[in-house]
Amino acid sequence: MDYRADQFAAPLYVDRDLLPRPIREVTLLQNLPWKYRFTTWYVLPIGVWKVQVMRLFNYLRSNRRRWIPLILAAGWLVVATGMTLNNQAADPRDGQIEVHLDPTKVLGSDSCEKCHAAEISVWKQTPHHETFQTLHRKPEAIQIASKLGISSFKHDSACIKCHYTMQQSASGLEPVSGVSCESCHGAAKDWIAIHNDYGGPGVTGEQETPDHRLQRLRASIAGGMRNPANVYLVAQSCYRCHTVPDEKLVNVGGHKAGSLDFEIVAWSQGTVRHNFMHSHGQSNTVSDPARLRLMFVAGMIADLEFSLRATASATEKATFGLTSAQRAARAAKRLEAAQGQLQQPLLDEVLQAFKGVKLKLNNREQLEAAADKINTLGIRFAATVDGNTLEAIQKYIPSAERWK
Ligand code: HEC
Ligand code: HEC
Ligand code: HEC
Ligand code: HEC
């Protein structure tokens, strides 16, 4: 059976109760290995320490009474350190970390390798994979980190959210790779065994009934899979990172305020593309035109959703808030232009959800409510609309020369 044959026909995930929750960050209590907690004092050159310690020792040797203040000072240090540690534990904001994926459910790309070797080899050529090795060496990154007082890239909350994949191991939270399979497809623990089960041992994809297929796709999504069978789910992954929804990172750190020219067809069909399933790993083909049209519109909807989320988190009139609001307005304009050609009822609803909303600071509730509404509509759009009905916007779809 062609893997895509009934992709558009099956109404995947339209019942309201089953719709996946909107994407929100997972906030965890930081569980850093000790070696990363103190970062400045121990990097003083050993030579400097040695000289200072020898001086102190010589000074103390010359008179026994000089030991008294030292003992008092040491006692004070022990008490003060204890208090600091206690305070750290008491303040819930300390040691918190934001990640996209629940690290207890991340399996790592090694667990995909045995069945998806071709996808892995493509991924290894992308900046998503490379960022694990390169980010901490880039001058621009070091500058951002110094402005934010970051000492360890791979263990600091401000970068790991988008540049790394974190996994919970016995020794704590560990970075296992850059942007990985699970960054886009969801942490795999609860869906890995479901997503490829055609109906028990011995049943092949060709023998699977359409009913079973639909149940399987739904079960995988319920298990947290961002299954590309519903393209909105993967589009959401892209925009969640590529709108860079982190005010401090942008306004204080000077990080780019999002990939402003991000468009999902152009950015997914070039170096990122890994469509091997229908040829059993033999060739990496471009998705068909109907699928690209669906993806294109789903991308615009997701752009609006996540620009609204970013604007919702803005608190000061500076680069981040302004860029996010402009981006939301632009996404809505683009959708409106497409809708002029398409007259699609669901797009009407999306634009309606945006209409009453004020793109202003400190308007979190209203903006998030609109984004949540658009989340639902986007998933439904991708589940029910046939890309063949979107021919009127073919002229807007980026052609191959523009693919990244
Ligand atoms: C034991 C083999 C196996 C393993 C391990 C495996 N997959 Fe799959 N995967 C499959 C098969 C077979 C399919 C095709 C399912 C179908 O026909 O819909 C598939 C499909 C997919 C799809 C496309 C879903 C769709 O229907 O459009 C994604 C995405 C995916 N796998 C991601 C992963 C990731 C990420 C991992 C590792 C965390 C992984 N898989 C591990 C066998 C596997
Ligand atoms: C909210 C998501 C997000 C967070 C958090 C984040 N980044 Fe990024 N970063 C991105 C995205 C997306 C890009 C790609 C931008 C593009 O090329 O359009 C990027 C690109 C970069 C680049 C440019 C890479 C290049 O080669 O052009 C640097 C440098 C960088 N990030 C540093 C950092 C540092 C340092 C941190 C932590 C302090 C951080 N980022 C945190 C999303 C994020
Ligand atoms: C977990 C966060 C994350 C997700 C999810 C994500 N990206 Fe990225 N992406 C990044 C970061 C970070 C970079 C920059 C890496 C670097 O250069 O260090 C990047 C870079 C890229 C680049 C290279 C850009 C260039 O200028 O060369 C492309 C293309 C891209 N992403 C496409 C996508 C697409 C398409 C999706 C969704 C299907 C997606 N990304 C999902 C974080 C993410
Ligand atoms: C940057 C985000 C991103 C990353 C990283 C990513 N994927 Fe995907 N994946 C997608 C998107 C988007 C699609 C749908 C593409 C399309 O339809 O053209 C997809 C489709 C797939 C498919 C089905 C496509 C087919 O027809 O063959 C499989 C299987 C898959 N991914 C597995 C993986 C595995 C395994 C990894 C890790 C090596 C991975 N993906 C990494 C975004 C990503």
Q: For residue range 115-173, what is the model confidence (pLDDT) as tens digits?
A: 999 999 999 999 999 999 999 999 999 999 999 999 889 987 799 999 999 999 888 88
> Does 316 share its domain with 290?
yes
> Does 236 share its domain with 380?
yes
Pocket probe mutation, ligand 2, options 126, 146, 162, max atoms within 8 Å of Cβ: 162
Q: How many domains does the chain have?
A: 2
> Does 363 share its domain with 300?
yes
Q: Whose CA is nearest to atom 18 of ligand 4?
A: 287
Cα(28)–Cα(17) distance, integer angstroms: 27
> Does 344 share its domain with 385?
yes
Closest ligand to Cα 164: 3
Per-residue pLDDT band at 180 (split at 50, 70, 90): very high
141 occurs within a structural domain: no
Enclosing domain of residue 341:
1-18+226-404
Report which of 327, 324, 234, 307 is spatially closest to residue 272, judged by C-alpha positions. 234
β-strands 172-177, 165-169: how paired?
A: antiparallel
Ligand 3 mean position, distance from CA 256 (Å): 13
- The span from the first CA to the last CA of the chain, in angstroms, equals 31
273 occurs within a structural domain: yes
Q: Whose CA is nearest to atom 40 of ligand 3?
A: 238
Closest ligand to Cα 131: 3
- Residue that finishes a domain, picked among 43, 58, 90: 90
181 occurs within a structural domain: no
Q: In this predicted structure, which of 14-28, 43-57, 246-260 has the lowest mean pLDDT?
A: 43-57
169 occurs within a structural domain: no
220 occurs within a structural domain: no
> Does 12 share its domain with 38?
no
What does the CA dihedral 36, 41, 46, 47 come to, rounded to 10 degrees?
160
Residue 29 has pLDDT above 50, yes or no: yes
67 occurs within a structural domain: yes
> Does 82 share its domain with 1?
no
Residue 30 has pLDDT above 80, yes or no: no
47 occurs within a structural domain: yes
Ligand 4 mean position, distance from CA 365 (Å): 33
Burial class (CB in 10 A: 0-12, 13-18, 19+), 85: exposed
Q: Is 227 in the pocket of ligand 1 (CB under 6 A)?
A: yes
In the chain, the largest separation of any two C-alpha atoms, in whole Å, equals 92
> Does 245 share its domain with 326?
yes
> Does 336 share its domain with 379?
yes
> Does 332 share its domain with 291?
yes
- Residue that finishes a domain, picked among 90, 106, 121: 90
pLDDT (tens digit per residue) in 217-231: 999 999 999 999 999
Question: Which atom of ligand 3 is the closest one to the Cα of 234?
Answer: 38
Q: What tokens appear for 74 in the block?
A: 């040491």
Residue 63 has pLDDT above 90, yes or no: no
- Residue that finishes a domain, picked among 44, 63, 90: 90
> Does 4 share its domain with 86?
no
Q: In this predicted structure, which of 3-17, 157-171, 204-218, 321-335 has the lowest mean pLDDT?
A: 3-17
365 occurs within a structural domain: yes
Closest ligand to Cα 193: 1
Token pair 């990939």 is found at 259
